[in-house]
Structure 1
Amino acid sequence: MRPTAALALALALAASYAMTIPAAARADEVAPILTGADALDNSTFARPQVARVTHVALDLALDFDAKRVSGTATLDIQAAPGAHEIVLDSNGYEVESITDPQGHALAFAFGEDDARRGRPLTVQIGDARRIVIHYHTGADAVSLQWLRPDQTAGGHYPYLFSQGEAILNRSWIPTQDSPGIRQTWEARITAPEPLKVVMSGERLTPEGEPAGAGRRAYRFRMTHPVAPYLIAIAAGNLAFRELGPRTGVWSEPETVDADARELDAAERMVDAAERLYGPYRWGRYDMIVLPPSFPFGGMENPTLTFLTPTIIAGDKSLVGVMAHELAHSWSGNLVTNAVWPDGWLNEGVTSYIENRIMEALYGHKRAAEEEALSWDEMQAGLAEAGMDAPGTALHAPEEGGAGSGITYDKGATFLRTIERTVGRPAFDAYLRGYFDRHAFRPMTSQRFLSDLRANLIRGDTELDRRLQLDRWVFAPGLPDNAAHPDPQAFAAVDAATRAIAAGGPVSAVPYADWNWAERVRFLQNLPRQMDAARLAAMDEAFHLSDSTNSETLFAWLKLALANRYDPAVPAAERFLAGQGRAKFVVPLFRALMGQGEWGQPIARRIYARTRESYHSVTSGAVDRIVNGAAR
């Protein structure tokens, strides 16, 4: 990609950058900015080689009536010699004034709006290296979801949570919103009593402190530089349960005990991950189980993983999501993709580590089954996009790749292929060293491959040829050296699936004896076209429409709706109204809309009822499916 004239100037200044910038105003660590075309982030308006944010200090008030956050953001800045302005990202917040620390006004201007990125905010900083932004968010800040009391488990208090990935935090935090511009941060947040505030950093005032009539203030800090999308907040009627010396879970009082029972393996997971990949460097590993509208399975916000309640199955069967988010403490949070086309460096590496944690805690059989399901997801992603589609390369096109089957599952398969080629001990030692060498730093695909060659391959040209590194990362499709899953992982399940497909009796299927992965494999591999009588027999025998496991219910509903099976519609409506996880909601609405005159009226009726309950991440995707365009 050809750099712009402004970027060329910035790169020219970069050579003297590290030597001439005044010492940071804080003692917190400052992460470097990567230069080069592979580190050019087109999702941000910032020009970090000219002027970049190193620290963010928030002093904000939460207004649940107006659905607004207001207050100040104080930014510490490093700037190259001769630089007198800084460019920030914005998406909807309104600026009242910007000053230097002494209160002198600084000129600023918003640029033209971009549908994907928002608007640039350019501030004339002069010689100032700290600026204070007085601002407030709009009621429709896309990162924030404000919930009414009736949308919570308790039903008595409102709730707020944020979701920043990938570039949503620029709707409520005025900073440079790029994963390659890592920043330390601190915050003071006030909220009405008796609500508690939690954030993805060290809690300095766990019980809060008085902040005026009927309000309390909560203080937080993060002294490690993190990508801005990892600054997260939640506020509501919250209770806490300790799970271990450095682990615990937040949730509403009505659900916290059940959540704690489900997630009680957290401390053992941290121990297992440390044995594999080195020390956990974030202090505590707490989690918060959010209301059902949270749009993802989990979000790896440092010190405080955000989780969907759809993983609370009652039997600990879906705790792989917790293992995945914990794994991000190394891949994603510790070493972060510098640009979003390299998102596989977060999600693919993390998916590989997740499987290793699950194997360490639950054994080879469970890990082999989950690896096989991941392989299936990868194959589905490749088939849907087309083997030759550019988006099936791990380094994705600028507007995104072929989806999670590539970013997560092909990425994990790539690392598994390396492991099985060089041997597990050698690859484990390499990954541990990789996290040590690049801790709290950004990373790109090119630099990752260079690190592999320098520290694992070490001049072995035959090994380099066998691994096909560049083909895996930069070429579409699936290289022919891919490590396949254990063909016996689901041997008994696949035999039962073939028997049903051949017309065998439903009563011969030992569904009740299977775990969730085996049930999902069975449902996913059944013929996509089945008559109503056959579906009814399975529904009655296996209680599919009444499943309390979100993964098996989702697999069943995809099959049932694709066959216009009317008795499954009430279960689909309950599921779509009861949670807002995009992984489930988006495909089910797509399935309904794909069924023409039968499914489209159902989809529109359900969506009219449920849209308000979804986070913007979910509703934005469903809008395009149901209405043909985002509202």
Structure 2
Amino acid sequence: MAPQTHPDPHSYGRPDEVVVTHLALDLTVDLDAQRLTGSAALDLAHRDAAATTLVLDTWRLEVTSVTDGDGAALAFSLGEPDPVLGSPLTVEVGAADRVVVSYATSPEAQALQWLSPEQTASGKPFLFSQNQPILARSWIPCQDSPAVRTTYEAVVHAPAGLLALMSAENPTSTTDDGTYRFAMPEPIPSYLIALAVGDIEFRPIGERAGVYAEPSVVEATAWEFADTETMIDAAERLYGPYRWGRYDILVLPPSFPYGGMENPRLTFATPTVLAGDRSLVSLIAHELAHSWSGNLVTNSTWNDIWLNEGFTTYFERRIDEEVFGADYTAMLWRLGRNDLDRAVRDEQPRDTWLELDMAGRDPDDGPAKVPYEKGSLFLRLLEETVGRERFDAFLRDYFDRFAFTSMDTPTFLAHLRAELLAPAGLSEEDVQLEAWVHGPGAPANAPAFTSDAFAVVDAQVARLLAGAAASDLETDGWVSHQWVHLVREIPVDTDHAVLLAVDAAFGLSASGNIEIATAWLELASQSGLVFSAPQVDEALHSFLTRHGRALYVRRVYTALAGSDAGLTRAREIFAEARPGYHSVTAAVVGRVLGV
């Protein structure tokens, strides 16, 4: 059963007529002008023999010429720009099977962040890309849809002394002339093409794994991610071979807008996971899991993102269970269910379905947590219903059968009915399939989770609220997930003196763990503590100007903006922090604050 072809509401491309099958980039990096210049050669397949027009996605690209493979000029036009979708580049290709687009990017290219020397640890400029969901078009003319997969190669000319890396086969040291050549032999969607240029060093951490980072943090990065090879082995035991060669990790400067980005062969990661105690390495399990769900089998459109993130969140927790044990993973399931409940409360009901409807909207404006947590919870329900052994066999076959293809929701549901539910003697009604996929919130048959580790925390919160001194709470041996649970269980209307005592006892305002710090600053904002305690406001300001990880700064800004005084303060901080944010983070926060 092959995935069906459905129009992508976020792409101008018409791959059912003429589709791009291979991309060859030749780009020069100008750090001073903040531009990439060069060419993109695209190999084409004519799926419709009568089609003579190629349509590509672009966003503020300066296209200077388009030729065929022999250098003959081809007629082209750029359509009217849409603020989200950009402009269609229409090329009259006739029967040509190759076109070459010569172009330059705009300094405002949404996918690219150009960091000044003052914004990096090394004191040298830095460039990185972030394409997901539809930002590749701002630096590559392409059919910018997850349904279109291409192989690619690239030549990148970088300033001498800086290392260039891509989501491809990578070097481990700088070249003398700054020229680097890359190849990605497996077909991937455009959102997984990635580029970084900077003062970067490499350290091996396993037979197939290594880390890249700025020199000042590369050793700490290697130590933090020492379990990566163990995670790869665990993932392969669960769902089959890792098919991408190497799995390396690049830790970027703090403005990187996500926790991680699963670029094949080279995960981009935020420095906020460098907690110094390996407490946040679940993020690496998540990005590694994308090597199967997302990268190997990709959502066809951004309406189907649950097939990417929901599967990956489920897979991540199975890796965590293999490596760290069931008790550890129980905490993650509980925290995830809390996140889902909050999302269901805060989002519009239609945005809490699994199959989304993002037509006419920026896909980056979709629900942040629902595809992850509701999607993974649905898979957990299937596991509990049919048994782990049967479900694992189904999932492994799914990754094998649809490897290197894109999948939409209707096709997956048909596959699910035929290959899992029917052989297990189950109907759609037995698992409430329609309620999960095309209904709001979490249905009544959603699995429930208990955690002995959280029961310990609950007992200490009860003592605190009954009058025990914060310094007398029994917290020895707690892991970061327990601290997050502690903060979330403290009521918003708790007396400020108690909150300050908790902060003094446990250093929450100064926490280097972004999960703990975010939970604490949300509570401090919602309770008004930031307005009565200057040291907490200072911690809030430092957090929001130091970090650019969109999910977490969004949470803190949202909590702060819940009052008139808080909204004023949030806008003050945002005005200061915005120049250091990636466009993804700036756009997300701007929508929260109405600016």
- TM-score by length of structure 2 reads 0.96
- The range that moved more, 580-589 or 506-515, is 506-515
Measured against aligned partners, the alpha-carbon deviations of 1:3-46 in whole angstroms (never above 9, x if no partner) come to: xxxxxxxxxxxxxxxxxxxxxxxxxxxxx99544xx22100001
Q: Distance in 2 between matches of 1:397 and 1:488?
A: 39
Q: Who is 2:221 aligned against? A: 259
- Counterpart residue type for residue 540 of structure 2: A
- Whether the 8 Å CA contact 2:518–2:555 is kept in 1: the answer is no
Please report how far the alpha carbon of residue 436 of structure 1 lies from its aligned counterpart in structure 2 after TM superposition: 0.3
Measured against aligned partners, the alpha-carbon deviations of 1:476-524 in whole angstroms (never above 9, x if no partner) come to: 2222211111254511112222333344432342234311000101101
| Secondary structure, counterpart of 1:368 in structure 2 | helix
Matched, 1:395 2:359: no
Matched, 1:595 2:555: no
| Secondary structure, counterpart of 1:202 in structure 2 | coil
Q: Who is 2:543 aligned against? A: 575
Measured against aligned partners, the alpha-carbon deviations of 1:530-573 in whole angstroms (never above 9, x if no partner) come to: 22211111111111111111111111111112222223111111
Q: Distance in 1 between matches of 2:378 and 2:184?
A: 33
Q: Distance in 2 between matches of 1:436 and 1:624?
A: 40
Matched, 1:49 2:6: no
- Whether the 8 Å CA contact 1:87–1:122 is kept in 2: the answer is yes
Q: Who is 1:621 aligned against? A: 588
Matched, 1:40 2:7: yes
- Counterpart residue type for residue 267 of structure 2: T
- The range that moved more, 446-455 or 189-198, is 446-455
Matched, 1:365 2:332: no
- The range that moved more, 145-154 or 459-468, is 459-468
Measured against aligned partners, the alpha-carbon deviations of 1:356-401 in whole angstroms (never above 9, x if no partner) come to: 0001001111011111101111111112226xx1111100122468
Q: Who is 2:510 aligned against? A: 546
Q: Who is 1:20 aligned against? A: none
Q: Who is 1:340 aligned against? A: 302
Matched, 1:295 2:262: no
Q: Distance in 1 between matches of 2:255 and 2:307?
A: 27
| Secondary structure, counterpart of 1:544 in structure 2 | coil
Q: Distance in 2 between matches of 1:148 and 1:438?
A: 43
Distance 1:479 1:601, change over 3 A: closer
- Which of 69, 74, 78 lines up with 1:110 in the alignment? 78
- Counterpart residue type for residue 390 of structure 1: R
Aligned residue runs from structure 1 range 262-273, under 5 A: 262-273=224-235
Q: Who is 1:145 aligned against? A: 113
- The range that moved more, 304-313 or 506-515, is 506-515
Q: Who is 1:312 aligned against? A: 274
Q: Distance in 1 between matches of 2:285 and 2:92?
A: 45
Q: Distance in 1 between matches of 2:453 and 2:212?
A: 36
Q: Distance in 1 between matches of 2:175 and 2:320?
A: 40
| Secondary structure, counterpart of 1:530 in structure 2 | coil
Q: Who is 1:510 aligned against? A: 474
- Whether the 8 Å CA contact 2:173–2:201 is kept in 1: the answer is no
- Counterpart residue type for residue 392 of structure 2: D
- Whether the 8 Å CA contact 1:53–1:176 is kept in 2: the answer is yes
| Secondary structure, counterpart of 1:313 in structure 2 | coil
User: Runs in 1 of length 4+ with deviation above 6 angstroms?
Assistant: none
Q: Who is 1:609 aligned against? A: 576
- Counterpart residue type for residue 321 of structure 2: E
Same amino acid, percent of matched pairs:
46
Q: Who is 2:149 aligned against? A: 182
Q: Distance in 2 between matches of 1:501 and 1:207?
A: 56
- The range that moved more, 45-54 or 316-325, is 45-54
Measured against aligned partners, the alpha-carbon deviations of 1:606-629 in whole angstroms (never above 9, x if no partner) come to: 223211111000111222334x23
Aligned residue runs from structure 1 range 40-439, under 5 A: 40-79=7-46, 80-155=48-123, 157-203=124-170, 206-207=172-173, 215-385=177-347, 389-398=349-358, 399=361, 403-439=367-403
| Secondary structure, counterpart of 1:524 in structure 2 | helix
Q: Distance in 2 between matches of 1:510 and 1:288?
A: 38
Q: Who is 1:525 aligned against? A: 489
Q: Distance in 2 between matches of 1:360 and 1:420?
A: 17
RMSD: 1.7
Q: Who is 1:8 aligned against? A: none
Distance 1:209 1:540, change over 3 A: closer
- Whether the 8 Å CA contact 2:4–2:408 is kept in 1: the answer is no
Please report how far the alpha carbon of residue 583 of structure 1 lies from its aligned counterpart in structure 2 after TM superposition: 1.3
- Which of 415, 418, 430 lines up with 1:451 in the alignment? 415
- Whether the 8 Å CA contact 1:342–1:444 is kept in 2: the answer is yes
Q: Distance in 1 between matches of 2:559 and 2:108?
A: 29
In structure 2, list runs of 5 or more residues that go unmatched.
none
| Secondary structure, counterpart of 1:264 in structure 2 | coil
Q: Distance in 2 between matches of 1:481 and 1:360?
A: 26
Measured against aligned partners, the alpha-carbon deviations of 1:181-229 in whole angstroms (never above 9, x if no partner) come to: 11111100010110000000113x554656xxxx421111111111110
| Secondary structure, counterpart of 2:216 in structure 1 | coil
| Secondary structure, counterpart of 2:158 in structure 1 | strand
Please report how far the alpha carbon of residue 463 of structure 1 lies from its aligned counterpart in structure 2 after TM superposition: 4.7
- Counterpart residue type for residue 473 of structure 2: V
Distance 1:553 1:460, change over 3 A: closer
- The range that moved more, 137-146 or 506-515, is 506-515
Please report how far the alpha carbon of residue 427 of structure 1 lies from its aligned counterpart in structure 2 after TM superposition: 0.6
- Counterpart residue type for residue 188 of structure 1: V
| Secondary structure, counterpart of 2:178 in structure 1 | strand
Q: Who is 2:450 aligned against? A: 486
Distance 1:315 1:487, change over 3 A: closer
Please report how far the alpha carbon of residue 591 of structure 1 lies from its aligned counterpart in structure 2 after TM superposition: 2.4
- Counterpart residue type for residue 228 of structure 2: A
Q: Distance in 2 between matches of 1:217 and 1:344?
A: 39
- TM-score by length of structure 1 reads 0.90
- Whether the 8 Å CA contact 1:382–1:405 is kept in 2: the answer is no
| Secondary structure, counterpart of 1:511 in structure 2 | coil
Q: Distance in 2 between matches of 1:541 and 1:553?
A: 15
Distance 1:190 1:502, change over 3 A: same
- Counterpart residue type for residue 348 of structure 1: G
| Secondary structure, counterpart of 1:72 in structure 2 | strand
- Counterpart residue type for residue 377 of structure 2: T
Q: Who is 1:499 aligned against? A: 463
Q: Distance in 2 between matches of 1:625 and 1:197?
A: 35
- Whether the 8 Å CA contact 1:33–1:180 is kept in 2: the answer is no
Q: Who is 1:536 aligned against? A: 500
Please report how far the alpha carbon of residue 475 of structure 1 lies from its aligned counterpart in structure 2 after TM superposition: 1.7
Please report how far the alpha carbon of residue 248 of structure 1 lies from its aligned counterpart in structure 2 after TM superposition: 0.2
Please report how far the alpha carbon of residue 585 of structure 1 lies from its aligned counterpart in structure 2 after TM superposition: 1.3
- Whether the 8 Å CA contact 1:382–1:402 is kept in 2: the answer is no
Distance 1:379 1:208, change over 3 A: same
| Secondary structure, counterpart of 2:95 in structure 1 | coil
Q: Distance in 2 between matches of 1:334 and 1:526?
A: 42
Distance 1:58 1:118, change over 3 A: same
Measured against aligned partners, the alpha-carbon deviations of 1:63-86 in whole angstroms (never above 9, x if no partner) come to: 000000000000011112111111
- Whether the 8 Å CA contact 1:95–1:135 is kept in 2: the answer is yes
- The range that moved more, 553-562 or 395-404, is 395-404
Please report how far the alpha carbon of residue 403 of structure 1 lies from its aligned counterpart in structure 2 after TM superposition: 1.9
Please report how far the alpha carbon of residue 139 of structure 1 lies from its aligned counterpart in structure 2 after TM superposition: 0.5
- The range that moved more, 473-482 or 55-64, is 473-482
- Counterpart residue type for residue 406 of structure 1: V
